């Protein structure tokens, strides 16, 4: 399955398909194979908190180095927040938000988030699971997706 097919199928799950594709494509070959697709859907539809934390962390770790840096946080927050008309530089507000986030989540105080930092913060407050933007479906979207996909399995043979 290529990127366009995955995006078409998952539009009801989430609008963050750029990161969704990267999260599903575990071997980084530019395609989502059947096993990757099944694993991704399983996580989305029935995944445990642990599985969802690992997935979200991988999505948020934009360069794949095992950490979420200040630059990655800034990039994700800038792309997920609505721009407000004001005299203040919007980038300054986002930088402040990054600093607040680090104070809340960076338990070892090294200026970046490891998975251990992220996991501890999310276990303390599950709302932090998607702290840097949406990457999991909401329950309503999940139900709509399941209704669409499971109504006629033969529909996907033509894709």
Task: State how far the Cα of 99 lies from the Cα of 148, in Å rounded to an integer.
Answer: 41
Task: Let me know if residue 141 belongs to a domain.
Answer: yes
**Whether the predicted model's global pTM rises above the 0.85 cut:** no
Q: Which of 7-16, 69-78, 127-136, 144-153 has the lowest mean pLDDT?
A: 7-16
Structure confidence at residue 159 (pLDDT):
47
Q: Residue 14's domain is classified under what CATH number?
A: 1.10.238.10
* Mean pLDDT (whole number) for 99-113: 95
Task: Let me know if residue 155 belongs to a domain.
Answer: no
How many domains does one find in the chain? 1
pLDDT (tens digit, 9 = 90+) per residue, 143-157? 877 777 776 555 555
Task: Let me know if residue 82 belongs to a domain.
Answer: yes
pLDDT (tens digit, 9 = 90+) per residue, 108-122? 999 999 999 999 999
Q: How far is CA 50 from CA 8, 47, 122, 123, in A?
A: 27, 8, 10, 9
Query: pLDDT category, 128, cuts 50, 70, 90?
Result: very high
Task: Let me know if residue 159 belongs to a domain.
Answer: no
Cβ atoms of 148 and 13 closer than 8 Å: no
Task: Let me know if residue 28 belongs to a domain.
Answer: yes
List the alpha helices (DSSP H) in the chain.
Answer: 3-10, 17-24, 34-46, 49-60, 70-80, 90-105, 115-124, 139-151
Range of the domain at 136: 3-150
């Amino acid at each position: 399955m290529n990127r366009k097919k995955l995006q078409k199928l998952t539009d009801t799950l989430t609008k963050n398909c750029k990161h969704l594709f990267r999260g599903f494509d575990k071997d980084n070959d530019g395609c989502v194979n059947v096993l990757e697709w099944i694993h991704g859907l399983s996580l989305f539809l029935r995944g445990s908190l642990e599985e969802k934390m690992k997935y979200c962390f991988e999505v948020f770790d934009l360069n794949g180095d095992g950490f979420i840096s200040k630059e990655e946080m800034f990039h994700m927050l800038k792309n997920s927040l609505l721009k407000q008309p004001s005299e203040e530089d919007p980038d300054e507000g986002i930088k402040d938000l990054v600093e607040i986030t680090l104070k809340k989540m960076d338990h070892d105080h090294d200026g970046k988030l490891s998975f251990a930092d992220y996991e501890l913060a999310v276990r303390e407050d599950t709302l932090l699971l998607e702290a840097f933007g949406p990457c999991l479906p909401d329950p309503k979207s999940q139900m709509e997706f399941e209704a669409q996909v499971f109504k006629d399995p033969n529909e996907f043979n033509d894709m």
